[in-house]
Chains A and B, each alone.
Chain A
Amino acid sequence: GESVGLHLPTLSVQEGDNSIINCAYSNSASDYFIWYKQESGKGPQFIIDIRSNMDKRQGQRVTVLLNKTVKHLSLQIAATQPGDSAVYFCAETWHNFNKFYFGSGTKLNVKP
């Protein structure tokens, strides 16, 4: 459902440090997850995805971890850069991957 009236939590990190962004998803039947990055005034951009038969997936500088037991997803960004500053959302889907539902989001602020 919609997170009405909530403000996005903010994670502030120093340039070059590693960042960990967390997401709790809602549906235990979800079997496919995507992390998106959204810059101000723009649409979401795909970062990395993971299926429920995996617990870890690595991309370039990013790693997604999935813990189905506690319905938790995390995004790790290595050597965070100022260009990584944005809002990050996880999205979940189930049943033939038709509809995607977004989590509440985290704002990442990278300090130079």
Chain B
Amino acid sequence: GAVVSQHPSWVICKSGTSVKIECRSLDFQATTMFWYRQFPKQSLMLMATSNEGSKATYEQGVEKDKFLINHASLTLSTLTVTSAHPEDSSFYICSARAGGGAPNTGELFFGEGSRLTVL
């Protein structure tokens, strides 16, 4: 199946700094990518939909100025957590869809996640 890669897989930063997480589709072009956030022992919460060449659309309650999303190419979306605070510590997971239209089996592919710890 298709591969989605995230980098870094693990990052620790100081409070007040910004952290960028990359999500790459390695063997397919992804017009749409999604960013999720997951707290320990909880489910994935959809944060935003990243669309290539246009602005991301954010879910209700997610601060767009806090979580900057850029989808500059068909294989790369980035999530930047700005002025990070300890409460931003979480597991961030991206997923990608190939092309458009109705999905076939397995068309939504997930990265391995990036664990952010803010001290």
Genuine A/B complex: yes
Listed in ascending order, the chain A residues whose CB lies under 8 Å from chain B are 2-4, 6-8, 32, 34, 36, 41-46, 49, 89, 96-105
Task: Classify the interface of chain B: helix, strand, loop or mixed.
Answer: strand
* Contact (Cβ within 8 A) A42 B113: yes
CB closest residue in chain A, given B59: A99
CB-CB under 8 A from A6, the residues of chain B are: 42
* Contact (Cβ within 8 A) A43 B42: no
Which of B42, B95, B109, B110: most chain A CB closer than 10 A?
Answer: B42
CB-CB under 8 A from A44, the residues of chain B are: 44, 93, 95, 110
* Contact (Cβ within 8 A) B108 A43: no
**Minimum C-beta distance from A41 to chain B (A):** 7
Stretch at the interface among B14-22, B70-78, B80-88, B98-106: B98-106
Q: Within the assembled complex, what's the spacing in Å between the Cα atoms of A48 and B89? A: 31
Given A42-B113, A43-B93, A43-B113, check contact A2 B108 (CB 8 Å): no
CB-CB under 8 A from A43, the residues of chain B are: 4, 6, 93, 95, 110-113
Task: Classify the interface of chain A: helix, strand, loop or mixed.
Answer: loop
CB closest residue in chain B, given A8: B41
Given A4-B42, A32-B103, check contact A98 B49 (CB 8 Å): yes
Residue from the list B42, B49, B102, B113 in contact with A41, Cβ < 8 A: B113
CB-CB under 8 A from A103, the residues of chain B are: 43
* Contact (Cβ within 8 A) B43 A41: no
* Contact (Cβ within 8 A) A99 B49: yes
CB-CB under 8 A from A96, the residues of chain B are: 102
**Minimum C-beta distance from B67 to chain A (A):** 15
CB closest residue in chain A, given B104: A49
Given contact pairs A46-B106, A100-B46, a sample of 5 additional A-B residue pairs in the complex whose CB atoms are under 8 Å apart: A41-B113, A44-B93, A97-B102, A97-B103, A101-B46
Given A8-B41, A43-B113, A46-B106, check contact A98 B46 (CB 8 Å): no
